[in-house]
Chain A
Amino acid sequence: MTGYLGFDPQQLLMLRDAMQRSALHLGTISCNDIEATAAVGTIRRVQQQLAERWVPLISSMMECRAMTGYVPVQLGLGDLVTSRLGVIQSLYGWTVVTDPIAGVTTAVTTDQAQALGWVLSHRDIADLVSDVELAWLDRTMSAIEASPALSAAFMANMTRVGWSRLCTRLGDDRIALLADQAITGRLNDANHDRLADIDAVFRSLGAILAGDHGPHHSAEPVWLDESMSPYASALLIQSLRLERDDLVATATTLIQRYRRGGWADVQRSGPGTADLLMQTMLDTPGAAAAFLRRAAQDPALVFDAAHSAVLTERFVLAGTNPAAISIVEAGAIVPALVLYLRDRYNNQAGFYGQHDVNTSTFTIDLIAPWLLQFTAAHSSDWALQPGEGATLLGSVIIDNAAFTELMARRELIATGLATAIAGRTSDVSLAEQSRHAGQDLAAVLGLIDTLARRQAITNTVGSNELWDTGFSLISAAASFIPGGLTTTVGSGVALNGLRAVLTAQGIAPKSSGAVTHDTLFALDWMTAVAAATVVCAVFDQMVADGRVAAGTPTPPLPDPTTPAPGAAYSAAFGAWLDHVSIGEQALVLDGLKQTIMSTHEAERNAVELTAG
């Protein structure tokens, strides 16, 4: 409802004359037949409408009689609400008068959509978007979005300048509203409605662009136009439903432009350009990982862009989750991000002074699922030198607190280990599977061993964390040893014996007695337990499938009461092998035991050699 009436004087005159002729003709019709009573009633009613209402009203307007409420006006072209009449008045010479009739809603028409596009493209609306206009624009854009014909009409007259001007204006408005909200804690009702209208208009504009298959798609998209603010582009993109690769390329361009500075959202509160883009990428499967592959060349794109450190962390962890990327892809991303974070640790200020990410926890979250790839045994996975991964790790795990944080992420470490093992278990023999699982387990344990020795873990909490981590890893690796995923610590005859030992030592469940050992002893003990776990699991499987006779004495268990549990276990294991008659199975079990204990030592040695 515009409150105005526009008309083509010639056409309206012809309408009035036609109404007069019809009214006269209808007035001549008569029929006295009783069966015609209803029809004659209809004829009289229509005749009356024409002769007594519409003909006089039109005549009155043609005479420009102000007393009737129809007063001639000249509309400005910048008024969005009257855009259609304004354009027609300006271009086609229509007469426009005020229209006193209220309460009549009019549907958006094709010419109205065209006119709106024209006005937005040809007039400066900087100071004209009032609350009323914005509410009207919201309703109108919603109607245009819902109709392909109206969308096409709107797009036909909407220029790149129009897109840029409208979106940037509304985007700047939104930034200011959110900044007010951040400062005062709330928005008044009018501003709350205004914010909702702005968001709704952006949703409609994005949907219209998303559905546009016209000539605009052959040129550079309007949301990448240099004159549109990155923030406005980011708001539009939320509704564009771009394909992953297009979204990532667009987000990279916009964040680079945003970081060049000078935009309204740089110094304001609330989500900025990068926050909006990161959230959109999080909502698009695979986009976070794809973006991080680009950002690995310039990590500032991800770490010095968004206002929200929490969102940044969530974005990076989603994009580097082992479920989202391959080991090779992670090799291109994780070390680069870790290096960037480490180097920035001494310079806390972000590019625009935003809150820095919490390196002590976030970096460790980033590292934990990929701990295996930091080991010397897996250096080739990420094209690192043997020991380079551990050196990098050691430069981040610089104190007891950081080490404790790493140990607290035992589930992430175990999941990463299990994912790596699972990725290599196809098309190899069971013995090979066991050997690989044992190697990976020992490599991670060796790396943790090295880090623990540097931190000289002596307190109860630290020792407990170390134990818990070790057994999480052992349990994860054991699930891939022959017997399948049903085999876990404590499930077979031999494993039951091991569990009894662990329980007696207060390890499962824990007690204060479990941490009386010093760190060196603890790690030696852990390696022995890892080897014993794998050996016992495989032995139980051999008995189950008949390769080893039932009743064969079970493998020895590590003795935590001896000064050197690892050496004692090796000696007991050798004696057990000499005693039992299990044929070639002895070679398999001995190989597994050696793999774990030697890999553990080799890992530690490699790291320490690199560290000098």
Chain B
Amino acid sequence: MPITSRPGDDLRGRAHQLRRTAGAIDDSGADGLYRRAGVDTWMGPTAARCLDELTTARRQLHEAAEALRRTARQLDQRADQADALTRLTTARGLPT
């Protein structure tokens, strides 16, 4: 019996891709750079500016990853809804 793809599979594929991107952000190591850039390493106006930028970058990357995961969840929900709709119309003999 041949395997048939479900209508929601494309959406699930996109969600997977977004989660993988979010995971790659997490694994980049950029999240912990600010800890290395404190006064144990260097100090002065340049050091202060660098620390500010790394702290900001950390926050922005974290927000980006979260946004990707949130979007992935929404895509999964849409996929489930699409599959459910297909099953319903098939059972009632309606054209899909």
Seen from chain A, the residues whose Cβ lies within 8 Å of a Cβ on chain B are 1-8, 11-12, 14-15, 18-19, 21-22, 25-26, 28-29, 31, 33, 35-36, 38-40, 42-43, 45-46, 49-50, 54, 57, 70, 84-85, 88, 99, 101-104, 106, 109, 111
- Cβ contact within 8 Å between B36 and A18: yes
Tell me the bound Cα distance from A28 to B28 in angstroms: 10
Tell me the bound Cα distance from A11 to B57 in angstroms: 20
- Cβ contact within 8 Å between B50 and A6: no
Tell me the bound Cα distance from A101 to B25 in angstroms: 30
Task: Give chain B's interface secondary structure class.
Answer: helix
Task: Give chain A's interface secondary structure class.
Answer: helix
Hey, what's the 0/1 contact readout for B22-44 against A, CB within 8 Å counting as 1? 10110111101100110111111
Residues of chain A contacted by B24 (CB below 8 angstroms): 25, 28-29
- B79 within 8 A of partner (CB): no
Hey, what's the 0/1 contact readout for B6-32 against A, CB within 8 Å counting as 1? 000000001001101110110111101
Q: Which residue of A lies closest to B50 (CB)?
A: A54
Cβ-closest 8 pairs across A and B:
A5-B44, A7-B42, A39-B64, A11-B41, A104-B45, A25-B28, A31-B21, A22-B30
| Among candidates A26, A85, A103, residue contacting B28 with C-beta atoms closer than 8 Å | A26
- Cβ contact within 8 Å between B21 and A101: no
Q: Which residue of A lies closest to B47 (CB)?
A: A5
Residues of chain A contacted by B18 (CB below 8 angstroms): 31, 33, 35-36
- Cβ contact within 8 Å between B64 and A43: yes
Tell me the bound Cα distance from A88 to B42 in angstroms: 10
Residues of chain A contacted by B48 (CB below 8 angstroms): 104, 106
| Among candidates A1, A33, A38, residue contacting B45 with C-beta atoms closer than 8 Å | A1
- Cβ contact within 8 Å between A4 and B42: no
Which B residues, 45 to 92, have Cβ-Cβ distances below 8 Å to chain A? 45-50, 53, 57, 60-61, 63-65, 67-68, 71, 75
Tell me the bound Cα distance from A306 to B44 in angstroms: 47
- Cβ contact within 8 Å between A4 and B27: no
Tell me the bound Cα distance from A1 to B47 in angstroms: 11
Tell me the bound Cα distance from A135 to B40 in angstroms: 27
Residues of chain A contacted by B65 (CB below 8 angstroms): 39
A-B contact count (CB 8 A): 128
Q: Which residue of A lies closest to B32 (CB)?
A: A18
With A18-B29, A22-B33 in contact, do A8 and B64 touch (Cβ < 8 Å)? Answer: no
CB distance from B12 to the nearest CB of A (A): 13
With A6-B44, A28-B24, A106-B48 in contact, do A35 and B57 touch (Cβ < 8 Å)? Answer: no
CB distance from B9 to the nearest CB of A (A): 15
Tell me the bound Cα distance from A66 to B13 in angstroms: 53
Q: Which residue of A lies closest to B74 (CB)?
A: A35
| Among candidates A7, A42, A57, A99, residue contacting B61 with C-beta atoms closer than 8 Å | A42
- Cβ contact within 8 Å between B67 and A6: no
Tell me the bound Cα distance from A541 to B45 in angstroms: 86
CB distance from A171 to the nearest CB of B (A): 32
Number of B positions contacting A (CB below 8 A): 39
Residues of chain A contacted by B60 (CB below 8 angstroms): 42, 45-46
With A11-B36, A11-B41 in contact, do A46 and B14 touch (Cβ < 8 Å)? Answer: no
- Cβ contact within 8 Å between A85 and B44: yes
**Most interface-central of B21, B28, B61 (chain A CB within 10 A):** B28
Residues of chain B contacted by A43 (CB below 8 angstroms): 25, 61, 64
- Cβ contact within 8 Å between B30 and A26: yes
- Cβ contact within 8 Å between B57 and A46: yes
4 further interface pairs, Cβ-Cβ under 8 Å (given A19-B33, A29-B28, A101-B49) = A1-B45, A36-B68, A46-B57, A85-B43
Tell me the bound Cα distance from A35 to B17 in angstroms: 10
- Cβ contact within 8 Å between B64 and A99: no
With A33-B17, A54-B50, A99-B45 in contact, do A21 and B68 touch (Cβ < 8 Å)? Answer: no
Residues of chain B contacted by A88 (CB below 8 angstroms): 43
- Cβ contact within 8 Å between B68 and A15: no
Residues of chain B contacted by A19 (CB below 8 angstroms): 33
Residues of chain A contacted by B17 (CB below 8 angstroms): 31, 33, 36
21 residue pairs bridging A and B, Cβ less than 8 Å apart: A2-B44, A5-B42, A5-B45, A6-B42, A7-B42, A8-B40, A15-B42, A18-B29, A22-B33, A31-B20, A33-B18, A35-B18, A35-B68, A36-B71, A39-B22, A39-B25, A42-B63, A45-B60, A104-B48, A106-B48, A109-B39
Tell me the bound Cα distance from A109 to B38 in angstroms: 11
Residues of chain B contacted by A70 (CB below 8 angstroms): 46
- Cβ contact within 8 Å between B49 and A46: no
With A31-B21, A46-B57, A50-B30 in contact, do A99 and B46 touch (Cβ < 8 Å)? Answer: yes
| Among candidates B14, B39, B42, residue contacting A12 with C-beta atoms closer than 8 Å | B42
Residues of chain B contacted by A14 (CB below 8 angstroms): 36, 41
Residues of chain A contacted by B30 (CB below 8 angstroms): 22, 25-26, 46, 50
**Most interface-central of A3, A5, A28, A57 (chain B CB within 10 A):** A5
Residues of chain A contacted by B29 (CB below 8 angstroms): 18, 21-22, 25
Residues of chain B contacted by A103 (CB below 8 angstroms): 45
| Among candidates A15, A18, A42, residue contacting B64 with C-beta atoms closer than 8 Å | A42
| Among candidates A3, A11, A18, A28, residue contacting B40 with C-beta atoms closer than 8 Å | A11
